[in-house]
Structure 1
């Protein structure tokens, strides 16, 4: 992978241009309001906040993931219909709310003004978020609902990062790894994901205009268990052509 020429000429390889949130195929989650709930963010709600672009809020047709953009109102209801993640209009606060519209727990870590895409586990007690890092890059964040509290679990991100560094040691120097969740398994125990890094992650700057290439890397597809963070070794595969398409063979066939 030649970075110097790409940075100098702008001829960036095609896979480097694909680090953007993609629509997830799957059955849409029906977001029907219950008595006492605020109205879910539909397309008619978009653009109501002054000076805010709310056009990306919601689900695209045929997709199960829900896009949030601060400070626009949004709500993604869990498959069980008992609770949902909501962003409060204008304030950008994020919470888990029940069907009665009352707050179950605040999710302060998602109320930082950055966009994120949320995907519920079929079991409704887990969800993952692809949190925007800018430049089309994302960080996977995994949450579990335990006794009415939203608890962030970091084991899966840590194991995916460890797998990347073990294969491509140059990525360990700067620690700027990115992981994006793509799809839940049908039983809600595993997540298919892709790990990558900023395009210049293996470049060492030695001075003004003086760079050295420390190594090469490619995005890695993986499947991980949410409880333990364990990565299925049979699922790890490099993707020289980019991260646009989830693999469909081997352990990915179940997804």
Structure 2
């Protein structure tokens, strides 16, 4: 499928440009929603992340030059396209599972070779920080940090529903210098804790009933939350990374 779409893009004259070459490094590119088709909102950001949008196919090469993440052009009325990883020197493209769903995403390569993060947009301004590892055998998604993060979120906010698929979202902040850990923020829908207490569904939710956003550092392979890294955040407050304790390595 990937080879077919790339061939079609060649016939149509659509370029799969390397985002690192196409964007002004001082300009921010942020998707405004699932239907955003403005390619000025697609490209490399000053923090090193690359914004991808359905209608703006592009690619991005890993810092070590070995891997390239490719989003192929959308084809046909169903807008069929692929998102995958290929060796930068050539070879077949391997799918990055579940990313070709029409939603925007931001790619962050890790300093550690082969690892990358995708902040995958899920609607309503919410994202899910997904970690992947590219190997010669294929692309593997690492999910343990999400499970541990969900457990900590439920510990802090017992009002969250049992089915974490309804609410497990968050924002990637940064890779550690060695690329083994990520700093990320847990947040979710503002009304997510309403469902456990219907009496508040038609009015303001008391502060003690709301879920609480927090910052944490997770080991991407073990999923463990690093000791002393959980920091409670004011809703809508400043999310600049601290520099003390375990955050000194970021």
TM-score (norm 2): 0.76
Aligned to 1:52: 37
Summarize the Cα distance change of 1:131–1:88 in structure 2 as closer, same or farther, 3 Å threshold. same
What does the per-residue CA deviation read over 1:138-182, in whole Å, with 9 as the maximum and x for residues that have no partner? 111111113331111111111111111011100134631212211
CA contact (8 A) 1:159 1:230 kept: yes
Output the CA distance in 2 between the equivalents of 1:125 and 1:89: 24
Summarize the Cα distance change of 1:119–1:43 in structure 2 as closer, same or farther, 3 Å threshold. closer
Aligned to 1:27: none
Output the CA distance in 2 between the equivalents of 1:108 and 1:218: 30
Aligned partner (choices 182, 185, 189) of residue 173 of structure 2: 182
Aligned residue pair count:
213
CA contact (8 A) 1:184 1:191 kept: yes
**Helix, strand or coil for the counterpart of 1:202?**
helix
Output the CA distance in 2 between the equivalents of 1:206 and 1:38: 50
CA contact (8 A) 1:87 1:95 kept: yes
What does the per-residue CA deviation read over 1:78-122, in whole Å, with 9 as the maximum and x for residues that have no partner? 111011111012343111122234334122411011000011111
- Alignment of 1:77 with 2:71, yes or no, is no
**Helix, strand or coil for the counterpart of 1:171?**
coil
Summarize the Cα distance change of 1:145–1:237 in structure 2 as closer, same or farther, 3 Å threshold. same
Summarize the Cα distance change of 1:203–1:243 in structure 2 as closer, same or farther, 3 Å threshold. farther
Gaps in structure 1 of 5+ consecutive residues: 1-36
The offset of 1:233, in angstroms, is: 2.7
Aligned partner (choices 4, 10, 17) of residue 39 of structure 1: 17
CA contact (8 A) 1:174 1:201 kept: no
CA contact (8 A) 2:85 2:134 kept: no
* Structural RMSD (CA): 2.6
- Alignment of 1:197 with 2:192, yes or no, is no
Aligned partner (choices 74, 80, 88) of residue 72 of structure 2: 88
TM-score (norm 1): 0.75
Aligned partner (choices 194, 204, 215) of residue 209 of structure 2: 215
Aligned to 1:206: 198
Moved more, 80-89 or 203-212: 203-212
Greater relative CO, 1 or 2 (CA 8 Å, sep 6+): 1
Gaps in structure 2 of 5+ consecutive residues: 1-14, 30-35, 76-80
CA contact (8 A) 2:16 2:58 kept: no
Where do residues 24-173 of structure 1 align in structure 2 (5 Å cutoff)? 39-41=17-19, 42-43=22-23, 52-60=37-45, 62-91=46-75, 92-173=81-162
